[in-house]
Amino acid sequence: MPGFLSTILAFIVAIGVLVTVHEFGHFWVARRLGVKVLRFSVGFGRPLWRREAADGTEYMLAAIPLGGYVKMLDEREGEVPAADLHRAFNRKPVASRIAIVAAGPVFNFLFAILAYWLIFIIGVTGLRPLVGQVLPGTPAAHAGLHGGDEIRVVEGRSTPTWDAARTALLKGSLGGGSIELEVAGSDGATRLVALDLAGLPLDLEGGDLLPGLGIEPWRPSIPAVIGEVVPGEPAEQAGLRPGDRILSADGRPIPDWNGWVEYVRAHPGTELEVTVERDGAELALTLKPASVAEGQREVGRIGAAVDMSRAPDLERYQAVQDYPPLEALGAAAVRTWDMTSLTLQVLGRLFTGRASLESVSGPITIAQYAGETARIGVVPFLAFLAVVSISLGILNLLPVPILDGGHLLYYLIELVKGSPLSEEAQQLGQRLGIVLLLGLMALAFYNDFSRLLG
């Protein structure tokens, strides 16, 4: 239960922050352009808290934390006193209305830049992108990659950690041609190699394309000793304690922590007979890993961390990706652009049928990722918020009536034809938008429940 509650809390915090940022964009620009704001609400439904400011704007926190809205003075929604007509949204020039509507998504992108800026100032510590093994007959083998190589640069982008390398490789793979890498061999000599991706079906939704490329990252061999157990998670429920050494699972020896993680991930929702060593004695336990969604597949998770005091000296295999504040701002803008273009390319593949609709996720999957990243630490949670904020900004810019992008489409048509669309056309568009949005939500919930129930 504590794990479930922490997931719900992380989800509410994430959605609350991102919705507030989005709606504040509309609110702030509307006020700057002279539009009277009647209500700023985070959430829908029954008010939990409300306050009216001296200027007449009502600020509200509502019970359903899955969205929000900014209500502006508008003749289409009720009678407007003559003295306030100049402050009505519908009376503003079309350029002002475009700015107000576009401000929500723009603030989502700005928030992503802020989140990445904080991440790059704090610093992201990760393993250097060292190749552990290259599988024969794969693009990596054909390109001439070898075990022990370090990937220094991908398509002109420096890759100090595996996280940076994976992002650059994924972005480069969407072109479908070849990816140029600069690698350093175990002797320190650098060389250029080209990964040929022509005709290679890459698992974009799975979150990791390294297996498809034939690359197995180098991993340190760490003894399978429990260092920390998360309260309420399967590890604690099974009786695992810090200091326990995992000896075997279902009769199979566990060589190290990586082997243990792989075995757990491969058995979501399955009872495992685990033998551990505790205080010099062997003990048999029954453990059932939780099933969590990762892309289109389910993986096991038990809520336990490795005892890093048993690890070999990792400092020489680690790298920190950080920047001074001003450089961090530029790096954050570049990362936001990269993630935006990556999301758009994946979205394009969805619309053209080159990516599976099973990759569409809804609130349940988002909540799971929110809980997972929040438990890991501040930097992963900030990275999660940045990615979801970018997705929210892109989603709202789609030219679908009822979304911000639909309204922007109306205003662009108005700019071209010199007059607004008729009320009938707008109402028809709204109904179409509701149907499309409900269909998308139904698909997202269906995928969520399919992953949850296996």
Looking at the structure, tell me whether residues 280 and 355 fall in a common domain.
Answer: no
Residue 10 domain flag: no
Q: Which residue has the tokens 């829908």?
A: 44
Looking at the structure, tell me whether residues 214 and 267 fall in a common domain.
Answer: no
Looking at the structure, tell me whether residues 317 and 335 fall in a common domain.
Answer: no
- Where a domain ends, among 321, 351, 377? 321
Residue 398 domain flag: yes
Looking at the structure, tell me whether residues 454 and 327 fall in a common domain.
Answer: yes
Looking at the structure, tell me whether residues 447 and 347 fall in a common domain.
Answer: yes
Given a cut of 90, is residue 287 above it in pLDDT? yes
Which token pair is 274?
Answer: 């685990």
Q: Which residue has the tokens 């810019």?
A: 397
pLDDT at 131: 92
211 membership: H or E segment, kind and range: helix 210-213
Angle at 391 between CA 395 and CA 450, to 5 degrees: 90
Looking at the structure, tell me whether residues 327 and 427 fall in a common domain.
Answer: yes
Report which listed range, 217-221, 268-272, 295-299, 342-346, is most confident: 268-272
Looking at per-residue pLDDT, the higher value among 375 and 329 belongs to: 329
Looking at the structure, tell me whether residues 237 and 277 fall in a common domain.
Answer: yes
Question: Which residues, listed in sequence order, are joined to residue 40 by a DSSP beta bridge?
Answer: 59, 70
Taking only the tens place, the pLDDT of each residue in 387-440 is 999 999 998 998 887 889 988 998 998 888 888 777 777 777 777 777 777 776
Looking at the structure, tell me whether residues 291 and 342 fall in a common domain.
Answer: no
Looking at the structure, tell me whether residues 107 and 150 fall in a common domain.
Answer: no
Residue 276 domain flag: yes
Taking only the tens place, the pLDDT of each residue in 230-255 is 888 899 999 999 999 999 999 999 99
Taking only the tens place, the pLDDT of each residue in 319-373 is 777 788 998 999 899 889 988 988 887 777 777 665 555 656 666 777 777 888 8
Looking at the structure, tell me whether residues 171 and 317 fall in a common domain.
Answer: yes
Q: Distance between alpha carbon 188 and the CA centroid of its chain, in Å?
A: 35
Give the alpha-carbon dihedral of 240, 244, 247, 248, to 10 degrees: 10
Number of domains in the chain: 3
Residue 75 domain flag: no
Nearest to 4 by CA among 252, 375, 267, 322: 375
Looking at the structure, tell me whether residues 192 and 334 fall in a common domain.
Answer: no
Model confidence at 205, pLDDT cuts 50, 70, 90, reads: very low
Cα separation, 259 vs 273, whole angstroms: 16
- Which positions are catalytic? 23
Residue 162 domain flag: yes
Q: What is the pTM of this model?
A: 0.70
Question: In which domain, by residue range, is 247 found?
Answer: 226-300
Looking at the structure, tell me whether residues 257 and 160 fall in a common domain.
Answer: no
